[in-house]
Amino acid sequence: MLVVHCSDTPDDEQLRAIDIQYMHLGFGWDGIGYHYVIGRDGRCEAGRPEFWQGAHVRGVNDVSLGVCLIGRTDFTTAQMNRLELLLRDWTARYPQARVVGHRDATQTDKTCPNFDAAAWWQTRITARMTPIAGSAEMLAKPEDGAALETESLFGESLEVLDRHNGYLRVKLATDGYEGWVQALSLTPASDTDKGHEHQLIAAPAVVVSAAPDVKSRCLLKLSLGARVMITDEKGEWLSIALPRGGSGYLPACACAESSPADDYVGVAETFAGVAYHYGGRSHDGLDCSALVQLSLQAAGIACPRNSGDQERWARTAGTIVDASTLERGDLLFWPGHVAICQSGQMMLHANAHHHAVTSERIDDALPRLADATGSPVTAIRLMYD
């Protein structure tokens, strides 16, 4: 069991783990009985190591871990957010464990933690998730160092499919992609967004500030395709909701209307010089198919994540053309690679040859890529409504 407690002290009393340590020593115990203590400001302090048996629930200490919230009934948002993070880590590492309150862990007259912890936790695990930061890595396996499959961007919705070893297996709503994400890097998507407008970030990258001022502290950085919930407008600035509460500010021009469908190439060109990163999907680094997907998405066109799937999709959404008749906007496919025509002579692609998003002459690139992939190019012209 993963047991939630409260200190049952006045809600305005700012206790710390050291105070609980002295209290429990006063009981004649060997020290603090909880494994973690969460203060009123959301700070999480270690008590007993997890590999030590706790002293927090009589009769089940040998099969449980315990965390204590400082306070009695009115717990702060910061405390509950930090509790959620801890429980996401615990349940991912101990997937068979149940989350319960002290009052439900054993026969007791105590009402601790003075709320239904199990019911509260159920609302959190059934919620759709979203990254806390600008992006979250989706890995091939639930382990550190596993191969990067793709990235989920800020505000994108993720469905939790499984949990193991501190990771959650998730499905990305944007394109159905699945992968393992560290539990601590996600938080439930907001369910209090009624009446607010959602928009996609249209700039290649943008800074979210603590105040509507270019000199204000940076809270996080977002990339093209990130999804934000706009809560207010302040002149040239937009106020957006942050996933763990509070607001941030970004320039209104970062959330411009979608580009015309036939100008997705212009969107892609804004990524020129960005580093190549296999599996990457943000302005910090991206691969060839992510460049295509994000650029088309900015123009209101949804397409798959991987180049092979993109070719199959393009064949149904367009027509194959001869490589001698290329035009701006045509897609060029090889096994495992995709590029975008800027004109009949130039193409743009994120590639490992240049280690960046690069514009180069088509006549130079075609023979090199044919040799590298063992296949000639397939050129497809998308058909727009």
53-92 pLDDT, tens digit each = 999 999 999 999 999 999 999 999 889 988 988 998 898 8
Look over the chain and give the mean of its residue pLDDT values, rounded to a whole number.
92
Kindly tell me if the per-residue pLDDT of 305 is higher than 90: yes
The pLDDT value given to residue 259: 65
pLDDT band, residue 150 (cuts 50/70/90): very high
Distance CA 41, CA 39 (A): 5
The pLDDT value given to residue 384: 73
Distance CA 100, CA 17 (A): 21
Kindly tell me if the per-residue pLDDT of 164 is higher than 60: yes
Q: Say whether domain 261-382 belongs to CATH 3.30.70.100.
A: no
Predicted TM-score (pTM) above 0.85: no
How far is CA 136 from each of CA 147, 242, 252, 296, 382, rounded to the nearest angstrom? 14, 15, 24, 21, 31
Distance CA 357, CA 228 (A): 26
Q: Contact, 125 vs 160, CB < 8 A?
A: yes
pLDDT band, residue 243 (cuts 50/70/90): confident
The per-residue pLDDT for range 2-54, each reduced to its tens digit, is 999 999 999 999 999 999 999 999 999 999 999 999 999 999 999 999 999 99
Phi-psi map region of 176: left, alpha, beta (phi>0 left; psi -120 to 50 alpha): left
pLDDT band, residue 304 (cuts 50/70/90): very high
Q: Exposed, middle or buried: residue 119 (CB in 10 Å: 0-12, 13-18, 19+)?
A: exposed
CATH of 197-254, one of 3.40.630.30, 3.40.718.10, 1.10.287.180, 2.30.30.40: 2.30.30.40
Architecture per CATH, domain 2-125, reads as 3-Layer(aba) Sandwich (3.40)
Distance CA 285, CA 351 (A): 11
Architecture per CATH, domain 129-188, reads as Roll (2.30)
**Residues annotated catalytic, as ranges:** 5, 34, 102, 110, 112
Kindly tell me if the per-residue pLDDT of 195 is higher than 80: no
The pLDDT value given to residue 190: 67
The pLDDT value given to residue 156: 93
List all residues 6 or more positions away from 18 whose beta carbon is below 8 Å from its beta carbon: none
According to DSSP, the β-strands at 65-69 and 36-38 are parallel
**Rounded mean pLDDT, 354-383:** 96
Kindly tell me if the per-residue pLDDT of 192 is higher than 60: no
Domain 2-125 and domain 129-188, same fold? Reply is no
Ranges of each domain in the chain: 2-125, 129-188, 197-254, 261-382
The residues pairing with 148 across neighbouring beta strands, listed in sequence order, are 139
Q: Please provide the distance, in angstroms rounded to a whole number, between the alpha carbons at the two ends of the chain.
A: 56
51-55 own/partner pairs: CB under 8 Å, 24+ apart:
55/24, 55/29, 55/30
Distance CA 21, CA 268 (A): 57
